[in-house]
Structure 1
Amino acid sequence: MSSSRLLHEFPLHYDAVVGFLRRRTGSADEAREVAHDTWVRLAEAPADPVAEPARIEDPHRYYCTVAANLQLDRQRRAQWLHQHLAQGLAVQAGATHAPDVADGLMYRQAVAALDAALAALPARARQVFEAHRFHGEPQAAIATRLGVALNTVERDLAAAHDHIAAALRRWRGEKAARGGGAGSPRGRRKSLASLLGLGAVGVLGAGGVWRYWRQQAQQWQAAYATPHGRRLAPQPLPDGSTLALDAQSRAEAVFDAHRRAVRLLQGAAFFAVASEPARPFVVEAGAVTVSVLGTRFGVELEPSGAVLVQVESGRVRVQRGDQLLADGLAAGQGLRVPVGEGAASPAHGPAAPWREGRLHFDTTPLGDALQRLARYSSLALRADAGAAPLRVSGTVEIAHAHDWLQALPTALPVRVRRQPDGGVLVARR
C-alpha cells in the first residue's frame, strides 16, 4: 500500500486510533494530539516505493504502530526535559527548599519554552537533536541513517543548541547571550547546560528566582509558536489559565501584579481563563482587544486580516482601538472584526473547532478557506482570481481535507487541478 493510499484511508481508522491511544496514554487530549501527529507523519511521508512497504495487509495495525512510536517519542522527550529541568530546580532551590506551586509553575514554563523551541526547528535539525539528546544515538550513526556527512549532523546539532539556548534566554528575560565564547562548541555546551538547568547566575541565580517570584507578584513572560501541521496542547499559565495554539500560530504572554496579557501574532488560540476580578485577562490581536475576567473563548487572525472572536462559556468584551464593539459577547456567540473601519458582524459556529480536528467556514471566501487548510496540508493549496471570492460554508474534517477538495466542483463552479509541483489549484470554470 502506497503512502498516498495510507493517507487517504487514515480517516476511516481515525476513531479507532484515538481509542487505542486513549487506552495507552489515559488522556483523551493526548490521544487526539498523537493521532493528529500520525496523520501529519503520513502526509509528510515521501511517495517512494523503496521507503514504503509494497503491501500492508493490516492498515489499522500499521496506523497504531506509527502512533505508538510517536507517542513513545513524546514520552522520551518529556522525560529528558523533566530530568534536566528537575536537576536545575534542585540546584536553584537548594537542598533545604521543598518545591511549591511557584517552583512547579516555573518548571512548566521552562518545559513549554523548550517544547516551542524544538517545534520551531527545521525538520532535520530537530530529528538530529532528538535522536542524539533524547535517545542517545551517536552522531556517526545518525549521519549514516540520514545519509549525510558527519559534519552536517554536527552543524545541525550546534544550530539546534543555539536556537534552544536563544529561546531559553528570551524566556529568562535576557536580550542576548553574555560572554565572549558562547559561539564555541565548549561555550555552547556550557551555555545550553546552564540554561537547561535554569541557570546558576543572573536572573535565576542562587535561588533568587523563587524570592523574586514572590516579591514581584508573579512577573512572568513567555512566547509560544507552532510549526506547519502541528497544534500546541493547552499550556498552563501562571494564574491557572491555559492557552492552546492552532498550527502555524504564535503568541506572547506577559503577566504581572496588575495585568494578564497575551498578544496573538499569527494564527489562532483558545483560552480557558481562571477568574480574577481584580486582574482582567486581555488578548490583543491586530487592532482588536478582548477583555475577560474568567471564561473560555477563541481568537483567530484570519487570512484576510480580520479577527474572529468566539465564546464557548462566560462573557467577553471586544474593542477595536477605543471603539467598543461588544460589552457582553456571550457563550455560543461570535464576532468577526474586519481590518480597518469596516463594521463588525456576527460569526456563527463552534469556538476553535480546530481543537477537535475540524475547521468551520461561514460564507468564507474560498481563497481564505484554502489558506486556512494549508496550515495542515502537505500540498500547496490556492485558488485563482476567479475562484478565490466564491463563498463556502460548512464544517471540514482536517483529516478529510482531500475529500472536501475533490467535492468542491459539486457545490461551486470550479475545477480542482493538480499542479506540476504537486500542489492543488482551484480554478473558476
Structure 2
Amino acid sequence: MNTSKQPQRQQPPETESNISDLMPYIKAAKGKFPSKEELFAEVNRDRDNRKKVIKTVQYTAVLVFCALGVWTVNPAISTDTYSTRYAENAQYTLHDGSKVHLNSNTTLVTKLRLRSREIMLDKGEAAFTVKHELRPFMVAVNNSTVLDIGTVFNISKWQQSFVTTVLEGEVELQTGEQKNRLTAGQSIHVTDQAAGAPYLAEMEMVTAWYSGKILFNKTPLKDAIASIQRYRKAPIKLDPRVEELLITGIYDISKVEQLLDSMDTMFPVIVTRANDGEINIQKMHS
C-alpha cells in the first residue's frame, strides 16, 4: 500500500516577492484613481447636469417661441382716444413722447404697439410732431396710411377726402397700391378713389388754426364753407350757384357766426337762419 503523500503545490517564491514589490505602486495608485463610490457619485452628477442643461434649453426654447409669437402678433401696449368739441382745440403728448395738436371737432385713436405706433384719425384735423424711434409712426385716414419719416405734418379730414401737408421732414402716403412721397412744404389731396399729385402748400392757410385763425386766399366759397363747418354743429347749406365765388381774408375761429352773418355784405347772397341753428346761403335773385 502506497502511503506516500502527494506533494503540496507551493507558490513560487518570486510571486510573493513580486506582489510585495508592487504594493508601493498600488498604494500610490489609490490616490490617483476614484473609488467605486466616487465613480457612482460622478455619474449621478453628470446625469443631474445633463438634466439641468436639457431643462435650460427647453425653457430657453419656450421663451424664444413666446417672444417670437408676441413679436409677430404685435400686441397693443396702450390705447387712448383724444377728442375736441366744436370751436375748441387742444394739444396732447402721446405715450411715446410725440405731440399732437387737435383742431375743432376732432377725434383720433392712438395705439402704442410693441413694434409700431398707430393712429386713426376718425374725423377733424390734427398736426403731428413725431418723436424719432425705431417703431414706425403711422396715421390711418379713410383707406389711406400716412407713414412718418422724421416729420411734422398736418392732416385735415372731411367725410370722404383729406389733405396731408408736410411742415418738416417727409411722409410716405399709401392709398391702395399707390404711393407718394411728400417733403416739407408739400400738400396732397386724397379722395376715396385715389390720391392726387403733390402740390406746393399754402403754409399760412394750413397752420392758421394753430393760433385760432381761419385764413382764405381766393378760396372758392364751397371750400370756405366746408372749413367753417368744422367749427359749428348745425349744418350750413350753400346754393350751388354761388359755390365758385372767391373769398379772401383772415378771421377768428371764435367769430365764425359773425362771418356767416356778414356773407350777404360780401356776396350777392341771402343768409337765413333756422331755429335749430341751420344756415342757408342762397343766391340773391336779380
Match of 2:139, SS state, is strand
1:351-390 matches, cutoff 5 A: 351-361=206-216, 364-377=219-232, 380-388=235-243, 390=245
What do the CA deviations read for 1:238-276 (whole angstroms, capped 9, x no partner)?
Answer: 221012222221111112231111010111111111112
C-alpha distance in 1 between matches for 2:81 and 2:277:
34
Instruction: Give the one of 252, 263, 270 matched to 1:408.
Output: 263
Instruction: Give the match for residue 29 of structure 2.
Output: none
Identity of aligned residues (%): 28
Q: TM-score, with normalisation over the residues of structure 1?
A: 0.43
Q: Which residue of 2 aligns with 1:338?
A: 191
**Structure 2: how far apart are the matches of 1:315 and 1:395?**
28
Q: Match for residue 261 of structure 1?
A: 118
Structure 2 unaligned segments of length 5 or more: list them: 1-73
Asked if structure 2 preserves the Cα contact closer than 8 Å seen for 1:273 and 1:295, the reply is yes
**Which whole-Å CA distance do the structure 2 matches of 1:362 and 1:322 have between them?**
34
The answer to whether the Cα contact below 8 Å between 1:268 and 1:299 also exists between their aligned partners in 2 is yes
Aligned to 1:280: 136
Tell me by how many angstroms 1:234 deviates: 1.8
8 Å CA contact retained: 1:300, 1:309: yes
Supply the distance in 1 between the matched residues of 2:137 and 2:230 (Cα, whole angstroms). 28
Cα distance change on mapping 1:396 and 1:411 into 2, 3 Å: same
Mapping for residues 22-421 of structure 1, pairs under 5 Å: 219-231=77-89, 233-276=90-133, 278-303=134-159, 305-325=160-180, 327-330=181-184, 332-341=185-194, 343-344=196-197, 346=199, 347-350=201-204, 351-361=206-216, 364-377=219-232, 380-388=235-243, 390-421=245-276
Change (3 A) 1:234 1:421: closer
For each residue in 1:89-146, what CA deviation from the matched residue of structure 2 results, as whole angstroms up to 9, or x when unmatched? xxxxxxxxxxxxxxxxxxxxxxxxxxxxxxxxxxxxxxxxxxxxxxxxxxxxxxxxxx
The 1:329/1:287 distance shift into structure 2, 3 A limit, reads: farther
Write the deviation string for residues 319-365 of structure 1: whole angstroms up to 9, x where unpaired: 2222112x2321x3222223313634524233443221122346655
Q: Number of matched residues?
A: 209
The one-letter amino acid paired with 2:105 is Q
Change (3 A) 1:274 1:420: closer
Contact 1:349 1:360 in 2 (8 A): no
State whether residues 149 and 172 of structure 2, in contact with CA within 8 Å, keep that contact through their aligned partners in structure 1: no
User: Which structure has the larger Rg over C-alpha atoms?
Assistant: 2
Which is richer in helix? 1
TM (norm. structure 2) is 0.62
Deviation at 1:296, TM superposition (A): 1.5
Give the distance between the partners of 1:221 and 1:371, measured in 2 at CA: 31
Q: Indicate the residue corresponding to 2:38 in structure 1.
A: none
Flag the 1:341–1:335 CA change in 2: closer, same or farther, 3 A.
closer
Higher strand share: 2
